[in-house]
Amino acid sequence: MSLPRPSPLDVEHSEPSGEFSQEERTILLRLAQESILSALEDRDIPLDPPTPHFAEPRGAFTSLYLNDLLRGCVGYVLPTSSVYRAVAETARAAAFEDTRFHPVTIAETPHLQIELSILSPPQPITPEAVEVGRHGLLISTSYRRGLLLPQVPIEHHWDRVMFLEQTCRKAGLPVDAWQKGATIEAFTAEIFGKKH
């Protein structure tokens, strides 16, 4: 039996200023949507990138929202596969493998809102250079790692120090680990989709 298709994705209609054009953003959002539906329908979808741009390696996160509440979020920090494959795989994982939530159901699919974050490679950064709203953070030691996307401190109204502390907390480290030898890396993210 065929699933009901979600309503058309509601994305910005002005031409974006980032790396990905409006058309490319729409293709990636539809890919994420189709990846979730295909899993529910127990069928495969082609994951060969349709353009050279989509074949470029990127880290990516897919965040799913239902009624404006987070419903799942999974991502790859490092660019280990093409952006096209990364979006498809993280969308499916966000829907069915985020252990904080029950798997997405067929009944929810028409109402899911999808937000994609396409990441730049992480680079070392000093705490003073961290810019809230521009950088995502990856803080790690030899045994723990925590990551927060650039939009998180904005959503929670954190300043730079709070952002560093909360990324340490996400890693399961003391909140002052960023001052005591933990590795701090930053990345930027092109974020698009609809969650409100």
CA-nearest of 55, 62, 72 to 117 is: 62
Q: Is the pLDDT of residue 11 over 90?
A: no
Q: Is the pLDDT of residue 170 over 90?
A: yes
Q: Cβ-count burial of 127 within 10 angstroms (0-12 exposed, 13-18 middle, 19+ buried)?
A: middle
The pLDDT, as a whole number, for residue 38 is: 96
Q: Is the pLDDT of residue 46 over 60?
A: yes
Q: Is the pLDDT of residue 14 over 50?
A: no
Please state the domain extents for the chain.
22-119, 123-188
Q: Which alpha helices (DSSP H) does 57-159 contain, by range?
A: 83-96, 151-156
Q: Determine the average pLDDT of the residues in 132-139.
A: 94
- Fold match between 22-119 and 123-188? no
The pLDDT, as a whole number, for residue 62 is: 96
The pLDDT, as a whole number, for residue 7 is: 39
For the CA atoms of 94, 97, 100, 102, what is the dihedral angle to 10 degrees?
100
Contact 116, 9 (CB under 8 A): no
Query: What whole-number distance in Å separates Cα of residue 165 and Cα of residue 31?
Result: 35
Contact 138, 185 (CB under 8 A): yes
Q: CB-based contacts of 52: which residues, under 8 Å, 6+ apart?
A: none
User: pTM of the entire structure?
Assistant: 0.77
The pLDDT, as a whole number, for residue 17 is: 62
Residue 108 carries which DSSP code?
G
CATH superfamily placement of domain 123-188: Hypothetical protein ph0010; domain 2 (3.30.1490.150)
Q: Is the pLDDT of residue 13 over 70?
A: no
- Confidence band for 185, pLDDT divided at 50, 70 and 90: very high
Q: Is the pLDDT of residue 15 over 70?
A: no
Architecture of domain 22-119: 2-Layer Sandwich (3.30)
The pLDDT, as a whole number, for residue 125 is: 97
Indicate the range of 4-8, 106-110, 141-145 predicted with least confidence.
4-8
Each residue's pLDDT tens digit, 76-134: 888 889 999 999 999 999 999 999 999 999 999 999 999 999 998 889 999 999 999 99
Each residue's pLDDT tens digit, 27-45: 999 999 999 999 999 999 9
Q: CB-based contacts of 4: which residues, under 8 Å, 6+ apart?
A: 106, 109, 110
Q: Determine the average pLDDT of the residues in 146-162.
A: 93
- Confidence band for 16, pLDDT divided at 50, 70 and 90: low
